[in-house]
Structure 1
């Protein structure tokens, strides 16, 4: 399960926090004027947070996929985007496999009108 929450620090960011006992690898997706982009991987250690995007949020919806090291636990969803095993930035979400990428289901995060957001990954699925 992914628990969503927000904070209001002086600096606005998109942060993801890991509240499980293993490292978690995170990928995100978002849409800008030029189209869809997916990025990964951020390694987030147990009981810590990582700033994924710095500054005011530029989109209302972000998409997250995360996988827990060692256990194979994961946080996913219905929004299919492209990923690969190595660190990546991929433009576009169509024809993932034809372009040499994996099709991966991301979960949608609605940040509303907030300029910052903190997402908490918890062990409850």
Structure 2
């Protein structure tokens, strides 16, 4: 099982009303602006094909306490688009998108174009960061 580090952020009073996405220091940072712990998964379309379809690398679960942030990707961003998904296992709430990506019930790293046994698909949100070196994606209530 993987351990993921979480950086706790002090959120300014006006942050909760901020846009769901904004610029940040180098890297792709995810922030949980809810009052409950969420689990986050990340994915990246490599642009490489295995001969039948494109290979997507997905990884999770990052446990993110309320009002905390963590870097999902560190350093200057090298891709124009990143994929994220989050869930609150207690309430059943999901933060989804339209891109199907393979995940597993426990901590995982999947490097494949198709889901294997014990994997299932979740719909990830595609986040276009353009030519930014840093980005913050907020999971809001």
The interval holding the TM-score normalised by the smaller chain is 0.7 to 0.9
Aligned to 2:16: none
One of 45, 53, 59 as aligned partner of 1:31: 45
Structure 2: give runs of 5+ residues left out of the alignment. 1-18, 49-54
SS at match of 1:26: strand
Aligned to 2:121: 103
Q: Distance in 2 between matches of 1:93 and 1:81?
A: 9
**Is it true that 1:17 corresponds to 2:31 in the alignment?**
yes
The structural deviation recorded for 1:25 is: 0.2
Structure 1: give runs of 5+ residues left out of the alignment. none
**Is it true that 1:93 corresponds to 2:113 in the alignment?**
yes
Q: Distance in 1 between matches of 2:47 and 2:62?
A: 24
Coordinate RMSD, CA, aligned:
1.6
CA contact (8 A) 1:17 1:49 kept: yes
Aligned to 1:119: 137
Computing the radius of gyration over CA atoms, which structure comes out larger, 1 or 2? 2
**Is it true that 1:52 corresponds to 2:76 in the alignment?**
no
**For this pair of structures, how many residues does the alignment match?**
117
CA contact (8 A) 1:22 1:69 kept: no
Q: Distance in 1 between matches of 2:94 and 2:118?
A: 22
The structural deviation recorded for 1:99 is: 3.6
Aligned to 2:92: 72
TM-score (norm 1): 0.86
Q: Distance in 1 between matches of 2:136 and 2:107?
A: 22
Q: Distance in 2 between matches of 1:38 and 1:102?
A: 12
**Is it true that 1:6 corresponds to 2:23 in the alignment?**
yes
SS at match of 2:83: strand
